[in-house]
Amino acid sequence: MKKSKAIIVLLIIVLCLVGVSYVDLVGVDATGKGSASDINLGLDLAGGVSITYQVVGDENPGETEMSDTIAKLQKRVENYSTEAVVYQEGANRINIEIPGVSDANAILQELGKPGALYFIAETDEDSNPNFTYGANGFVLTKTIDELKADGSIVLEGTDVKTANAGTVQDNLKNSTYAVELVMTDEGTAKFAQATEVAYHNGQRIAIYYDGAIVSAPTVNAVITNGSAQISPMSSFEEAEKLASTIRIGGLKLELEELHSKVVGAQLGVEAIDTSLKAGAVGLAAVAVFMIAVYFIPGVAATLALLLYVALVVLLINGFDMTLTLSGIAGIILSIGMAVDANVIIFARIREELATGKTVKSAIKIGYDKALSAIIDGNVTTLIASAVLLLLAPGTVKGFAQTLALGIVLSMFTALVVTKYIMYALYALGLKNEKLYGVAKERKTIKFIEKKTPFMIISAVLILAGFVTMGVFKVTTGDTLNYSLEFKGGTQTSVTFDEAMTLEEINDKVVPYIEDIAGNVQIQTVQDSNEVIFKTASLNAETRQELDNMFVDNFGVDRSLIQSETISSTISDEMKSDTIVSVVVAVVCMLIYIRIRFKDLRFGISSIICLVHDVLVVLAFYAAARVSVSNTFIACMLTIVGYSINATIVIFDRIRENMGVMTRKDDLVEVVNKSVTQTLSRSIFTSLTTFIMVAFLYGFGVTSIKDFALPLMVGIVCGVYSSVCLASAIWFTLRKAFPPKEEK
């Protein structure tokens, strides 16, 4: 690269950094659109709309009906935000909380009256019309009660099993948009009878929802298999809207709005501010570390890392993602992986310089040799992200989105941006090999020989975790310190005489509540003095004590205090969906590793280490009684991604060294050498990520500390399992099940 070209490259990169940073800070117009402040934030960081529905006509609906209704509503409201949550309040109420929106009326208008869907025949038994076509479309000529009485309602929403938008071919083989319906077993029989009557009389069947006929398709055939199509639709959006209406109208319970409100963030402005400070300070610390350890490559990596962070913020906004504490976890992990890719490359460059290569040759060869480890490590994590995006519940999707985005960007900045910056700095005259560092000969550490004590330590830690969980199960009834999201609890709404900010509530009110009820979550209500406090389940005596505290200490009118039991926001279905998605992700990673490494033992060893890390962190959760909240899932997934990436890098070096080993070489020595060669990478990458999380813990509020602390334990555990266990497990499996050529 010539000096003039180098100057142009550096200028372009600096201009990109300045330009993207400017958009992140200011936006693209006077309203701040596109800036960091314009990013959609979750309920925990920014609040949103809270809607409470009540079951119509039944004060004590069945548990199965309520859980089924909640599960279907959860799927429906995830169209507004993947971070939306639905949970039960009291015996017959359902709460919906949707982050990032402030117009409750618009949501209510679109949702309508859930569970109020009917399929209506065009005429009754006496051939009297049930609906007619007027200036504003189809309208009923009778009330719903009259239609029910004369048998004109041929199906209800609960008779529909699924409704999805799609495309079909018409008689002329042209594609058109349609809604595809699949009926339940009972609905299939009803639909066959209804379509037979309508078809022979050339009639329509109207679909009625929340006071209006939303569609009235003509019946063109007798449908006996329970599968039907409504077509043609003018657009996919129209088809999806109708399908969504049928789905929400098919709830087992009919719901009516009780009230709606705009609620504030659960963590508050302070949580965002401290997280930003922690990120900035942590990033600065990582930059200083990289420059101090790697010199010129460290400078290149720092510039690329700054561009990476700016691009992440820009694209989170561009893709309209909702950022939550779980999303922040994904960003932290991807920053760690961005540093990781650079560290792998720089270690390779130093190794080449140690063999006498020129700086220019060392950079080229270093990138070539590091490529496979970077691709394998990132692709395995990207596979996990893709599976989570497809299968996981909404609250996990936020984590998967930011992680996937971060991985793609980190590979780009490490493999392209850092590379060109280094070449540019070299072309500008920074050619002395001392500025790049030369690898020193390191004595090979005998990791394989120490595998027995390493495995004993791990077994003791895991066993201690199970024992601890067993003890707490017996003494407290819970193996872990489950929070409201997992167990449910009590929601107390209090209207104070004067409005207070979230920070004032935390300082003045929370200490009193914690003395009585333990940990508490807070939400303020916009344009009112109402505050919602969510605590663990309280008995009648404790609720009375809490009410007295509000009256005695804050002069609250007792009639303005309302308490209700609420269910967990993480339903059994969400738990099972998460478990299934993680298992599928692990299987997919195992298949990828098998294909890339041509040795199933590598994949099995990686998964064993992954399970080890999860169990050790679980033991820490149990022993330290850290609150298991909705960030628990994100924390565990972060550790899984981090662990698999670190292990793959070591296995990649083992594979490389085995490719050049001779019959005289000892496999034990080759494995020990491989782990030793990658040791600095394992330590430095873990250290930089640990620094980021440590600052998050140091600056953070309580909920963020509960997330950061186990994550730090997971990082330490991840590097331990990758360095001390992964290769030892692989070696043990290879000895127990040797390849055919060795047999």
Contact 286, 690 (CB under 8 A): no
Show which of 217, 250, 283 is a domain's final residue.
Answer: 250
For residue 741, what pLDDT is reported?
63
pLDDT band with cut points at 50, 70 and 90 for residue 381: confident
416-439 pLDDT tens trace? 999 999 999 999 999 999 899 888
Token reading at 110: 């679109």
Which neighbouring-strand residues pair with 98?
Answer: 49
User: What 3-state class would DSSP assign to 562?
Assistant: strand
* Residue 542 counted as domain residue: yes
The distance from CA 279 to its chain's CA centroid, rounded to whole angstroms, is 20
Per-position DSSP letters for 497-555, written without gaps between them: SS---HHHHHHHTHHHHHHHH-SEEEEEBTTSSEEEEEES---HHHHHHHHHHHHHHH-
Residue 263: which residues within 8 A CB-CB, separation 6 or more? 43, 47, 48, 49, 50, 97, 523, 524, 525, 526, 532
Calculate the CA dihedral of residues 730, 733, 737, 738 and round it to 10 degrees.
40
* Residue 418 counted as domain residue: yes
Token reading at 372: 């496979």
* Residue 664 counted as domain residue: yes
597 with 711, same domain?
Answer: yes
Round to whole Å and give the CA distance between 75 and 68. 11
Q: Which one-letter amino acid corresponds to residue 23? A: V
342 with 303, same domain?
Answer: yes
Round to whole Å and give the CA distance between 487 and 628. 10
The region, left, alpha or beta by phi > 0 then psi within -120 to 50, assigned to residue 83 is alpha
Round to whole Å and give the CA distance between 667 and 662. 10
The strands making up 175-183's β-sheet, listed across from edge to edge, are: 160-169, 175-183, 227-233
341 with 384, same domain?
Answer: yes
Closest by CA position to 721, among listed 595, 585, 615, 631: 615
Residue given tokens 């079951």 in the structure block: 55
Strands 40-41 and 322-323: parallel
Token reading at 217: 């398709």
95 with 178, same domain?
Answer: no
Round to whole Å and give the CA distance between 602 and 4. 47
For residue 452, what pLDDT is reported?
94
552 with 593, same domain?
Answer: no
577 with 560, same domain?
Answer: no
Round to whole Å and give the CA distance between 343 and 219. 66
71-118 pLDDT tens trace? 888 878 877 877 788 888 888 899 998 887 777 787 887 787 788 889
Token reading at 646: 């670190």
Distances (CA, A) of 496 to 29, 343, 552: 39, 55, 12
* Residue 689 counted as domain residue: yes
* Residue 42 counted as domain residue: no
* Residue 53 counted as domain residue: yes
The 8-class DSSP code of residue 722 comes to I
| Range of the structural domain that residue 126 is part of | 117-250
Contact 660, 354 (CB under 8 A): no
431 with 401, same domain?
Answer: yes
* Residue 221 counted as domain residue: yes
590 with 725, same domain?
Answer: yes
- The pTM of the whole model exceeds 0.85: no
Per-position DSSP letters for 384-405, written without gaps between them: HHHHHHHHS-HHHHHHHHHHHH
* Number of compact structural domains in the chain: 5
* pLDDT at residue 51 tops 60: yes
* Residue 109 counted as domain residue: no
Token reading at 481: 């310190």
Round to whole Å and give the CA distance between 229 and 512. 59
For residue 266, what pLDDT is reported?
64
434-452 pLDDT tens trace? 899 888 888 899 999 999 9
Closest by CA position to 126, among listed 150, 106, 92: 150
Residue 90: which residues within 8 A CB-CB, separation 6 or more? 564, 565, 566
12 with 55, same domain?
Answer: no
The 8-class DSSP code of residue 444 comes to P
CATH classification at residue 151: 3.30.1360.200
Token reading at 89: 């309040």
Arithmetic mean of pLDDT, 154-178: 85
Arithmetic mean of pLDDT, 543-563: 93
pLDDT band with cut points at 50, 70 and 90 for residue 646: confident
Arithmetic mean of pLDDT, 667-676: 93
Handedness of CA 391, 393, 398, 403 (dihedral sign): negative
Token reading at 261: 């409100």
Of 129-133, 344-348, 629-633, 701-705, which gets the smallest average pLDDT? 701-705
CATH classification at residue 542: 3.30.70.3400
Per-position DSSP letters for 2-34, written without gaps between them: -HHHHHHHHHHHHHHHHHHHHHHHH-SSTT-TT
Contact 384, 569 (CB under 8 A): no
User: What 3-state class would DSSP assign to 265?
Assistant: coil
For residue 346, what pLDDT is reported?
92
pLDDT band with cut points at 50, 70 and 90 for residue 663: low
Our CA angle for 151, 156, 162, nearest 5°, is 150
Contact 221, 195 (CB under 8 A): yes
611-624 pLDDT tens trace? 999 999 999 999 99
The 8-class DSSP code of residue 250 comes to T
563-573 pLDDT tens trace? 989 888 777 77
Contact 726, 651 (CB under 8 A): yes
494-505 pLDDT tens trace? 999 988 887 788
- 738 backbone dihedrals φ, ψ, rounded to 5°: -70, 155
Show which of 103, 136, 171 is a domain's final residue.
Answer: 103
Show which of 520, 548, 566 is a domain's final residue.
Answer: 566
- 121 backbone dihedrals φ, ψ, rounded to 5°: -65, 155
- 60 backbone dihedrals φ, ψ, rounded to 5°: -135, 70
428 with 284, same domain?
Answer: yes
- Surface-to-core class of residue 41, CB atoms within 10 Å of its CB (0-12 exposed, 13-18 middle, 19+ buried): buried
239 with 139, same domain?
Answer: yes
617 with 691, same domain?
Answer: yes
Distances (CA, A) of 500 to 44, 97, 515, 527: 18, 22, 20, 11
Contact 394, 321 (CB under 8 A): no
For residue 361, what pLDDT is reported?
93
Closest by CA position to 162, among listed 227, 218, 113: 227
Q: Is the peptide bond before 232 cis (omega within 30 degrees of 0)?
A: yes
Contact 385, 396 (CB under 8 A): no
Start-to-end Cα distance in the chain: 52
CATH classification at residue 590: 1.20.1640.10
